[in-house]
Amino acid sequence: MRAVLLEYELPMLRSEPLAEVEVLARAYQRAGVLPPSAGDDALHVAICTVNQVDVLVSWNFKHLANVNRERRIAAVNESLGYVYPLRITTPLEVMDHD
């Protein structure tokens, strides 16, 4: 993974300020967007949101990669002032098939 980051000069995501990320992750859970058992998923989404990531790619259809969940996450984000659009999708949707 590190080799790919270096080869394509991709920046590492920051998880700081950690407090901001944790507050946002808990907001997803309080709003019922993600269940308490999906704490790691909530943190992944919060890290992407805070870092203004364009796309979060996941095979996790249950908690992440579905349009209904994406909309509910966007609603929480907007209510807390995070307006940068985050797409949550599967690897198949971002693959170049040419």
| Confidence check: pLDDT of 80 > 80 | yes
Query: Where do the domains of the chain lie?
Result: 12-94
Tell me the pTM. Answer: 0.82
For 1-52, write each residue's pLDDT tens digit. 667 667 877 666 665 668 999 999 999 999 999 999 999 999 999 999 998 9
pLDDT of residue 96: 73
For 7-19, write each residue's pLDDT tens digit. 877 666 665 668 9
pLDDT of residue 18: 84
Greater confidence (86 vs 97) lies with 86
Pairing of strands 55-57, 87-89: parallel
The whole-angstrom separation of Cα 18 and Cα 6 is 24
